[in-house]
């Protein structure tokens, strides 16, 4: 190696070392929310309480709160510009495919439709259909607390580089009573790892999450109501889940409930066919 090339190599190594050191410092020091309060952004490996890992190992589900790690008010601000779901008129939604790159940083992938086979989604309007949605806003996916959440979530499940992660913001708003699942009832989402995070819940009753051992619902495991900032983790290939319909607490006043759904490691062959087509370099569950 000549002197010029050695100098370029040393400069690149120094730059990479500085980037890694800055990343490490960002994990150790707190960030600030939009209202001036301090966010606690722990190391990725310390993001979740130990009980979460134990519960997932032994009962295949767990519930925790990440309110201290995210600026919930800022996240709620992204609900205002959600477009209406073109397939379910009473719902609003955005979604994006993400992954961790080889440096374990969060990246947004290109477009790939949501695809659920009838085995996992038996609603007549959804089964075996390709669905395209507007992507998550870049100003949302580039937030420090959003990236920290995605990295910690992937670490919790053992998700590696280039495994596609689907992240959705979806929910309902308006008047009256709405079934958020639009007839899905007890179901699985066709993946191994699934989490549901409530972003806001305003003037609503209902929306009770229920977990079952079987799709028939004869073996009930747990019921839980999620408050904003709380997240329910599910081994989706081991359990089934449902959510009850919601209604206004105060008639005539606006209500809404929005959630983030994040999942990975798809076992639905219909979805995997689309992922192979749109992301040829992706690491899929079936090829691991």
pLDDT at residue number 12: 41
Is residue 8 predicted with pLDDT exceeding 80?
no
Share of the chain above pLDDT 70, in %: 82
Q: Are residues 60 and 155 in the same domain?
A: yes
Q: What is the CATH number of the domain that holds 228?
A: 2.60.120.620
One domain, residues 21 and 70: no
Q: What is the pTM of this model?
A: 0.86
Residues 61 and 196 in one domain: yes
Between the CA of residue 272 and those of 53, 158, 193, 277, what are the distances in Å? 27, 19, 15, 8
Same domain for 181 and 147? yes
User: pLDDT tier at 21 (50, 70, 90 boundaries)?
Assistant: very low
Average pLDDT across the chain, whole number: 86
Quick one: 20 and 49 in the same domain?
no
pLDDT band at 184 (very low <50, low <70, confident <90, very high): low
Is residue 227 within 8 A of residue 201, CB to CB? The reply is yes
Q: What contacts 237, CB < 8 A, 6 or more positions away?
A: 188, 191, 192, 267
Number of folded domains that form the chain: 2
Q: Which helix (H) or strand (E) holds 223?
A: strand 220-224
| Same-domain status, 24 and 62 | no
Q: What are the φ/ψ torsions at residue 26 (nearest 5 degrees)?
A: -65, -30
pLDDT higher for 40 or 188? Answer: 188
Same domain, 118 and 3: no
8 and 111 housed in the same domain? no
Span 135-180, pLDDT tens digits: 999 999 999 999 999 999 999 999 999 999 999 999 999 887 665 5
Domain extent, residue 3, equals: 1-32
Do 8 and 93 have their domain in common?
no
pLDDT at 17 over 90: no
Is residue 97 located within the same domain as residue 238?
yes
Tell whether 171 and 254 lie within a shared domain. Answer: yes
Top pLDDT among 82 and 28 is at: 82
Residues 156 and 24 in one domain: no
Instruction: Measure CA of the first residue to CA of the last residue in the chain; give whole Å.
Output: 38
């Amino acid at each position: 190696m000549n002197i010029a090339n050695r100098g370029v190599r040393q400069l690149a190594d120094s730059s990479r070392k500085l980037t890694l050191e800055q990343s490490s410092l960002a994990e150790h020091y707190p960030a600030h929310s939009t209202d001036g309060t301090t966010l606690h952004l722990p190391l990725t490996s310390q993001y979740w309480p130990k009980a979460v890992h134990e519960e997932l190992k032994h009962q295949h589900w767990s519930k925790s709160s990440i309110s201290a790690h995210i600026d919930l008010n800022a996240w709620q601000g992204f609900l205002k510009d959600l477009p209406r779901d073109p397939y379910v008129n009473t719902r609003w939604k955005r979604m994006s495919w993400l992954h961790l790159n080889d440096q374990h940083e969060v990246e947004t992938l290109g477009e790939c439709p949501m695809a659920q086979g009838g085995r996992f989604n038996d609603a007549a309007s959804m089964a075996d259909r390709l669905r395209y949605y507007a992507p998550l806003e870049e100003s949302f996916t580039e937030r420090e607390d959003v990236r920290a959440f995605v990295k910690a979530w992937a670490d919790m499940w053992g998700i590696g580089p280039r495994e596609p992660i689907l992240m959705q913001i979806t929910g309902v708003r308006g008047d009256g009573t709405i079934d958020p699942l639009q007839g899905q009832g007890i179901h699985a989402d066709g993946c191994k790892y699934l989490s549901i995070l409530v972003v806001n819940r305003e003037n609503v009753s209902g929306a009770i999450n229920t977990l079952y051992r079987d799709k028939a619902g004869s073996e009930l495991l747990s019921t839980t109501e999620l408050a904003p900032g709380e997240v329910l983790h599910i081994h989706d290939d081991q359990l089934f889940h449902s959510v009850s319909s919601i209604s206004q607490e105060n008639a005539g006043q606006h209500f809404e409930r929005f959630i983030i759904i994040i999942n990975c490691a798809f076992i639905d062959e219909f979805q995997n066919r689309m992922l192979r087509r749109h992301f040829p370099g992706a690491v899929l569950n079936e090829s691991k």
